[in-house]
Each structure stands twice: as C-alpha cells, then as structure tokens.
Amino acid sequence: MRLLIVDDSSIMRRIIEKNLKDYDIEIIGMAADGIEAVDMVKKEKPDVVTLDITMPGMDGLACLDEIMEFHPTAKVMIITALADKLTGLRALDKGARGFLYKPVNADDLAKAFDRLLKRNEDKQSRF
C-alpha cells in the first residue's frame, strides 16, 4: 500500500511516518499544502492519503475535491484539529474514507489504519 502524507506541520508529518513504520506501507511522499499534494497525487497515484484540513494556500477540503476528481479510488483519511461535526460530515460527503481528530497518538493512528486496511482486505476478498 502506497501512502502520501499531507500536513503543513513537519512534526505532524513525521509523527504519522514514525507511527506507521510497523505496517506494510510504503510512504511515497509528503506534502505541506494542498497544491503540492494534488501534484503528487497526479504523479504518484497513492493508494492512501492522510490529509490535514487547515493548511495555507489550498486547504484540505479543496484538496480532497481535486484528489477525488483525478484519482477517485484513493482512500483519503482526514487528520485534522477541526473537531466540529459539520467539517467531518463535509469531508465524508466529498469522498473521505476515514476521519481522525487531532491530537492523535500512536493508538489512534493504529486503530484507524487497521480499520482502513481491514476494509481494503474485505473488499479484495470479495473478488
């Protein structure tokens, strides 16, 4: 599984990277804003994208629209500090497959990726 990490915080990008080391995941890149992320999605076609919302330039929700247009099979997991329900619903409505509220610790990430990967295996086993 090939992963793109998108967050304007370099510390946050490295937290996600560090906590996913034990998974069978290849991190194919990291982006610090939505514009950079869309470019990388077009070039690399990652299987999974972790996507922050509050970022300079193009925010995560606008970026999600672009990702869904150019690479609709990408599984996008939103990881954001914006803890209101409306933002979560909007992201899911736009095509996000998962949603995590910051602050996220190792357990939160593990559970979210376990769910995402389990869903992927279930889907593959049906074919």
Return residues touching other proteins (CB under 8 A): 8-12, 14-15, 18, 54-56, 80-84, 86-87, 101-103, 105
Least Å distance, CB 18 to other proteins, is 5
- Angle formed by the axes of helices 10-19 and 106-125, nearest 10°: 60
Find the shortest distance in angstroms from Cβ 126 to other proteins: 36
Other beta carbons less than 10 A from residue 98's beta carbon: 18
Q: Which is nearer to other proteins, 44 or 101 (CB)?
A: 101
Q: Which is nearer to other proteins, 14 or 115 (CB)?
A: 14
In angstroms, what is the minimal distance from the CB of 101 to other proteins? 7
What does residue 76 show for φ and ψ, rounded to 5 degrees? -105, 125
Q: In this complex, which beta carbon is closest to other proteins, that of residue 74 or of residue 78? A: 78
Rounded to a whole number of angstroms, the minimum distance from the CB of residue 60 to other proteins is: 11
Amino acid at 101: Y
What's the Cα-to-Cα distance from 106 to each of 45, 51, 87, 110, 111, rounded to whole Å?
26, 17, 23, 6, 9
